[in-house]
Structure 1
Amino acid sequence: NALITTAIGGDVATQVQQGEKQFDLVVRLERQYRDNPGEIANILVPTPGGPQIPLKEFADIRVMNGPSFIYRQDNSRYIGVQFSVAGRDLAGAVEDAMRQINGQVSLPEGYHLDWGGEYTEYTQSRAQLNIILPLTLGLIFLLLFALYSNLKFPFITVLGVVLSAPVGGLVALWLTGMPFSVSSGIGFLALFGVSVQTAVVYISYVNELRLGGTPLADAIRAGAVLRLRPIMMTALVAALGLLPAALATGVGTDTQRPFALVIVSGLFTRLLISIFLMPALYTLVARPDDRLEV
């Protein structure tokens, strides 16, 4: 193999130095001895016993179409087929291609398909997100439990966020035609964090009013009115700060735009819904003998 490779393709024999530069000196047969199958078949190959025999004595030399490079991975050959996705989401395009190939392409024995590239990174990130999302919600609940020292207020906080914040994000993705991606999933995580903060502002203030002797109904109503401005400022600062990224259409916005769009639209719906939802949820669970923490 080394002899044939050197005779036809050439091999570095030494290096030539000219001034401060070095160049490889490649040795191979002259063109007239390697430019057709007949000449290649006459290349003499040494045998273990010493004599040299022509290559044509133990190999068939012919011109065929084949790959210019042979790629290997994990000690196996593979053929890479690449394509780009435009006008639709990556996961949907790959899943559609999988269905068509499984239905129309029959692979020879010993062959198999592996879907790699960005799709592999997407599936890995999606699997990590399936673990991170419930873990994040669980940690938020534990922090709220540590704050209020009971289960009812953390429960209505998380329930209020789940019922209000994702609505805007999901509607925005649907209206813009964007698929649910890892970037938008991370956006929902950030959205939950900011939304929980607005709920804590309301519940803590109502608890403070109740500790001061304000009746339950009056405290719920006063909290909804007096904490409206701080809640709006908390949400709007985050939403307006990400608004340019949500509206951007230039190069590099494929990942940042879903993230920002989910947060901006989710915070607006969170504000609109939570104004009525949080007082209603607090009314359902609050009791005169509650242990109150602010």
Structure 2
Amino acid sequence: MQAAQDVRLGGRPTRTQFEFTLQDANLDELNEWAPKILAKMQTLPELRDVATDQQTKGTTLQLKINRDTASRYGIQPQLIDDTLYDAFGQRQVTQYFTQLNSYHVILEILPELQGNFDTLDKLYIKSPTTGDQVPLSTFATWTSVPVRPLSISHQGQFPAITISFNLAQNAALGQATDAVQKAMAELGTPATLSSSFQGTAQAFQQSLGTVPLLIMAALVVVYLILGILYESYIHPLTILSTLPSAGVGALAILMAFGYDFSLIALIGIILLIGIVKKNGIMMVDFAISAERDEHLTPEQSIRKAALLRFRPIMMTTMAALLGGVPLMLGTGTGSEIRQPLGYAMVGGLIVSQALTLFTTPVVYLYLDELSNAFSNWGRSKGDDDGQLAEHGAVKQAAE
């Protein structure tokens, strides 16, 4: 039985998760360089289970059937063909399904016997007329022919060879792709030989350029909304200062438990942008209101906000954190997809909660001083310009 992976992001059907494809218009050059690249990739510590679909050394036999002898046993050519296919053709006899995957049941002889010519001497066919097991050698002879390629794969219009691989333990996909590209540069492959990642690895490379833009777009939108809400250019930065600790916590817990920074983990970090900044919003909103309505100093207002908003901050954080625990610890169908999301949420919330209660008041005071400094500088510059204008007007009147 062989497990069949039914959900894939493009690429060729392989036994491993990631693919790296080589293409060349010259088939001989492609067959020459593919084993060298395969050997180099097998030495990379970031990869394991490195294999290729190159099949240039196929063993071929020419089978001659004595139809008269076979007919005396009631054996037809179709029965011979079916028997050989059952032995060497990997016939799929059935398929059964589970909640997580599907499995193909394959009929074949032992793999170690498939490349041995003597196996045909041990192959028997049941006679439909007598019911006896008749050796294949009774009515058939075979001879070997020169080695020839079993198959030549193509991608587009050119011959292609796909090298498949899995990731080594604690190795990230980004590290693996960088290592493969570095190995290709060290080998000095000819210009006519092109290479590219396919399937899941290709989707990962394409997403690398969009992830920073996605996070930056989220931060810009948050800054604009908070700036409009508080009518300030400075205080939205106080709220956004809570996000780095959440990102550090999420990445740290993913690394500690051996999870890659996948798309699901990225979704968890984007969720943290909305969840974690509510700590800063609760304190900053209360402090600004206290300054405006109660005429408190910045130190008094942020201290009062930290004391009075501590309880709702803890309540909302614990509610979000406990909501992520089932995702982190859950088992069953699809749990391997949900767990990185849970780990990113829980790790980010724990670290941000431990730090932002102390860092947010400090950042608030420093940015408030910075805002006052800019205001005083702008006010003094305006006064100087006014005095110069007044002095010029007096001088002009005197003349």
**TM norm structure 2:** 0.51
Give yes or no for the alignment of 1:168 onto 2:249.
Answer: yes
Name the residue aligned to 1:142: 224
Give the Å deviation of 1:145.
0.6
Question: 94, 109, 112: which one pairs with 2:177?
Answer: 94
Q: After the TM superposition, which of the residue ranges 180-189 and 222-231 deviates more from structure 2?
A: 180-189
Question: 292, 311, 316: which one pairs with 1:229?
Answer: 311
Residue-by-residue CA offset, 1:143-186 (whole Å, 9 max, x unaligned)? 11111111111111112333x22231232133223343333233
Name the residue aligned to 2:289: 208
Give the Å deviation of 1:109.
6.5
Q: In the aligned structure 2, how far is the partner of 1:251 from the partner of 1:137? A: 34
Q: After the TM superposition, which of the residue ranges 210-219 and 115-124 deviates more from structure 2?
A: 210-219
Give the Å deviation of 1:283.
2.0
Q: Which residue identity lines up with residue 323 of structure 2 in the other structure?
A: G
Residue-by-residue CA offset, 1:56-80 (whole Å, 9 max, x unaligned)? xxxxxx7432133x43333222122
Structure 2 vs 1, CA of residues 109 and 156 (structure 1 numbering), >3 Å: closer, same or farther? closer
Q: Which residue identity lines up with residue 110 of structure 1 in the other structure?
A: T
Q: Which residue identity lines up with residue 234 of structure 2 in the other structure?
A: K
Give yes or no for the alignment of 1:277 onto 2:376.
Answer: no
Give yes or no for the alignment of 1:153 onto 2:235.
Answer: yes
Give the Å deviation of 1:254.
4.1
8 Å CA contact 2:282, 2:309 repeated in 1: yes
Q: In the aligned structure 1, how far is the partner of 2:181 from the partner of 2:300? A: 60
Name the residue aligned to 1:28: none
Tell me how many residue pairs correspond in the alignment.
227
Q: In the aligned structure 1, how far is the partner of 2:332 from the partner of 2:180? A: 28
Q: Partner of 1:81: helix, strand, or coil?
A: strand
Structure 2 vs 1, CA of residues 109 and 270 (structure 1 numbering), >3 Å: closer, same or farther? closer
Name the residue aligned to 1:188: 269
Q: Which residue identity lines up with residue 173 of structure 1 in the other structure?
A: L
Structure 2 vs 1, CA of residues 174 and 165 (structure 1 numbering), >3 Å: closer, same or farther? same
Structure 2 vs 1, CA of residues 110 and 280 (structure 1 numbering), >3 Å: closer, same or farther? closer
Structure 1 or 2: more strand by fraction: 2
Structure 2 vs 1, CA of residues 253 and 94 (structure 1 numbering), >3 Å: closer, same or farther? farther
Q: Which residue identity lines up with residue 171 of structure 1 in the other structure?
A: A
8 Å CA contact 1:129, 1:182 repeated in 2: no
Name the residue aligned to 2:186: 103
Q: Which residue identity lines up with residue 96 of structure 1 in the other structure?
A: A
**TM norm structure 1:** 0.68
Q: Partner of 1:66: helix, strand, or coil?
A: coil
Name the residue aligned to 2:302: 220
Give the Å deviation of 1:214.
5.2
Name the residue aligned to 1:264: 346
Give the Å deviation of 1:270.
1.1
Name the residue aligned to 2:127: none
Give yes or no for the alignment of 1:64 onto 2:147.
Answer: yes
Structure 2 vs 1, CA of residues 211 and 109 (structure 1 numbering), >3 Å: closer, same or farther? closer
Give the Å deviation of 1:114.
1.6
Q: In the aligned structure 2, how far is the partner of 1:251 from the partner of 1:91? A: 27
Calculate the aligned-residue CA RMSD, in Å: 2.8
Q: In the aligned structure 2, how far is the partner of 1:173 from the partner of 1:206? A: 35
8 Å CA contact 2:268, 2:345 repeated in 1: yes
Residue-by-residue CA offset, 1:233-260 (whole Å, 9 max, x unaligned)? 2222122111122234666444432222
Question: 122, 130, 146: which one pairs with 2:212?
Answer: 130
Q: Which residue identity lines up with residue 73 of structure 1 in the other structure?
A: Q
Q: After the TM superposition, which of the residue ranges 136-145 and 200-209 deviates more from structure 2?
A: 200-209
